[in-house]
Amino acid sequence: MRPRFNSPLLTVLKNRNFRLLWYNGAISNTGELSELLVMGWLVLQLTGSPWQVALVGLSRTVSLFAFTLIAGAMGDQKDRRHIILASNATNIMVAAAVLLVLTMGDVQPWHLFLAAAVRGATRSFENTSRRALVFHIVGPASLVQAISLEHIGMSTGRILGPIAIGTLLQVTGTAVSSYSLLTGLYSIAFISVVLLKVAPTLSSLPRRPVLRSVGEGLKYAYSTPSIAGVLTASVVMNAMFQYHLFIPVVAQEHLGVGPGLMGLLAAADGMGFVFGALFIGLLGNKIRFHGRVFLAGCIGVTVFLLAFALSPWYILSFFLLVSLGTFQVGFSTMQSSILLMASPPNFHSRIFGAQGLAVGTGQFGNMEMGALASAFSITVALAANALVGMGLLLLIAIFMPALRRPIERVEEPTEDTPQPLVEGQEMTTEDQRPKPEGSV
Is 4 in contact with 88 (CB distance < 8 Å)?
no
**Residue 167 vs residue 211, higher pLDDT:** 167
Q: Say what the pLDDT of residue 317 is.
A: 95
Could you report the per-residue pLDDT of 289-345, keeping only the tens digit for each? 888 999 999 999 999 999 999 999 999 999 999 999 899 888 888 888 888 888 887
Check pLDDT > 60 for residue 89.
yes
Query: Which domains does the chain possess?
Result: 8-199+209-411 (1.20.1250.20)
Span of 190-194, 224-228, 282-286, 386-390 with lowest mean pLDDT: 282-286
User: What dihedral angle (degrees, nearest 10) is formed by the CA atoms of 19, 85, 95, 74?
Assistant: -120
**Residue 79 vs residue 208, higher pLDDT:** 79
Could you report the per-residue pLDDT of 360-401, keeping only the tens digit for each? 666 666 677 778 888 888 899 899 989 999 999 999 999 999
Q: Say what the pLDDT of residue 284 is.
A: 61
Is 214 in contact with 70 (CB distance < 8 Å)?
yes
Average pLDDT of 119-126? Answer: 88
Return d(Cα 277, Cα 273) in angstroms, integer: 6
Q: Say what the pLDDT of residue 66 is.
A: 82
Check pLDDT > 80 for residue 139.
no
With bands split at pLDDT 50, 70 and 90, how would you rate the model's confidence at 265?
Answer: very high
Q: Say what the pLDDT of residue 8 is.
A: 57
Check pLDDT > 90 for residue 217.
no
Percent of the chain with pLDDT over 90: 26
Return d(Cα 18, Cα 29) in angstroms, integer: 16
Average pLDDT of 128-147? Answer: 78
Return d(Cα 326, Cα 278) in angstroms, integer: 10
Average pLDDT of 232-238? Answer: 88
With bands split at pLDDT 50, 70 and 90, how would you rate the model's confidence at 183?
Answer: very high
Could you report the per-residue pLDDT of 398-435, keeping only the tens digit for each? 999 989 888 877 765 554 433 333 333 333 333 333 34
Q: Say what the pLDDT of residue 92 is.
A: 95
With bands split at pLDDT 50, 70 and 90, how would you rate the model's confidence at 275?
Answer: confident
Mean pLDDT, the chain, integer: 81
Q: Say what the pLDDT of residue 424 is.
A: 39
Q: Say what the pLDDT of residue 433 is.
A: 37
Span of 51-55, 278-282, 294-298 with lowest mean pLDDT: 278-282
**Exposure b/e, 36-59, CB count within 10 A at least 16 = b:** bbbbbbbbbeeeebbbbbbbbbbb
Return d(Cα 92, Cα 24) in angstroms, integer: 13
